[in-house]
A and B are shown apart, each in its own frame.
Chain A
Amino acid sequence: MKNYLNKRNLITLVALAIIFFVIQFMIKERIITAYMRSNLYWIGIYIILGLSLNMIIGITGQLSLGHAGFMSIGAFAAAVVLKTNPTLTGLFIGIGIGILISLAVSFVVAVPTLRLKGDYLAIATLGVAEIIRIVLNNLSITGGASGISNIKMLMSWPLLFTFVMLTIFLTHNFKNSAIGRACISIKEDEIAAEAMGINTTKYKVIAFMFGAALAAMAGSLFSTTYYIVKPDSFGVNTSINILILVVFGGMGSLSGTIIATFIIGFVNIVLQPYAEIRMILYALILIIVMIFRPQGLLGSQELSTKLLPNFKWKRKEKSS
């Protein structure tokens, strides 16, 4: 425990507490409107989705195009449980069930496809997301094509904040561990990684299942935020939207994904009045960013408090 208590972590913790209470205060005083709050929830949920996909694509270098499928597993698991037990306990049970199913499904997909080198995973995940969607469409417990509506709305700023922080904590720790290093080495050069004694299949499967579990968690939060879940909300489009966050922010950069989600969230808000041309402008912005920053906003770098002392030092130098 004492290893956690260093100056950097304390500064981060204080900063996070300030952000939390400022926004909490603004919500209480209605400076943040209900509409803004709903956008804030969108950003939070997509940060979790982006980070979870970054584990698979950015860190391990395996292209997955079916992330919305795992999200839908979590969404429907929570929706079904919340229908009979509309409490926070119910939500947590739903999240747990969603994660377990998601882990099982991702394991079945990952083990055969990730033994191969190459982009087989992209095709397999694309197919699996479709299978999940079609299964949900035809199950009576999930309400068929019309899905489940009138789900108890339990989403709140403290709940969102807790889950987003939990995700950042877990993904950051994952990346900065021996397991994360093994995954990054697979992205860098799979043959060399194997020659360094790394069981590449094992680490690819671990990263994929970890990402799928987090996506299920985000899905559960999604269903309690937006009252209604339909199988069609989790098609290829949603998977691509998550993929955009990762590519836009920079493959392998956690802070990049977070910043990208905020930017895209704000772009969505700003473009809201221009209904028809919204998608065109949105696409244009993405194209422009990709022309000037093909590696994404942050590349594979991270924003970090390590950078702070350097800034101060530079400023002093200028003034003297």
Chain B
Amino acid sequence: MSFLDSPAILETEGISFSYGKESAFIENLSFTIGQGEFIGLLGANGSGKSTLLKLGSGILKPQSGEIMLWGKPFRSYKDRDRAKLISFLPQALDFSIPFTVRELVGMGIYPYDIPPLIGIDDALDMVGLGHLGDSHISDLSGGERRRAFIAMTLLQGAGLLLLDEPLANLDIKYQIELVRLLRRLRDERNISVVMALHDINVALRFEKVMVIKGGRILGIGSPAAVLTRPVIMEAFDVLVDIKNAGERDAYISFEENY
């Protein structure tokens, strides 16, 4: 898995991880994320998507194996320096205290002592929230909240975005908008994006997908190569039918009672 045409940003080498004392949830897993890659991490509930993203962001630490960030061991980075390189979006944020959008976006500069390269207003404009800076985050729609978070990562300057189910609870239109926004930022700034997904039809629109189940990788590569009938059936435990309506436009229908 190292035939990359771009420099590796994050590499895992045989990492294993378990919650508590039971047998390893993730065992001897190796993969590489290259600069500028746009990866969909696909798997059913409980397949290990979140665990993998948390290992990649350093929230969880592998019991064995090594994670390399820009070619250096993860452990060798201070928390603050790591925060300049990786940004992780949790599945849910807490909004019990009413922060404004501007206050949230401004947190992106916390890892730095110097003023940011781009201002809060620029970042808001880049994600299309220029008019909502003074609104409370709790008053925004789900899609707007995620865009506000993405604006924050622009100030944070992180080259790798790890997003845990950013498309959850969004209508299809907003899902497409958010993916398009992230892809545009990737094109402009050469960042890498990895997002957990569970919608197979959305995964088809990615350049690269990684399918996992039970903490194992079932396949990495282009959707056409990876999202085959047997892989999807194994990953999701359902009977599926893949219909091609053109070169890249496939859609997948599901049947119950596997």
Q: Do A and B come from the same complex?
A: no
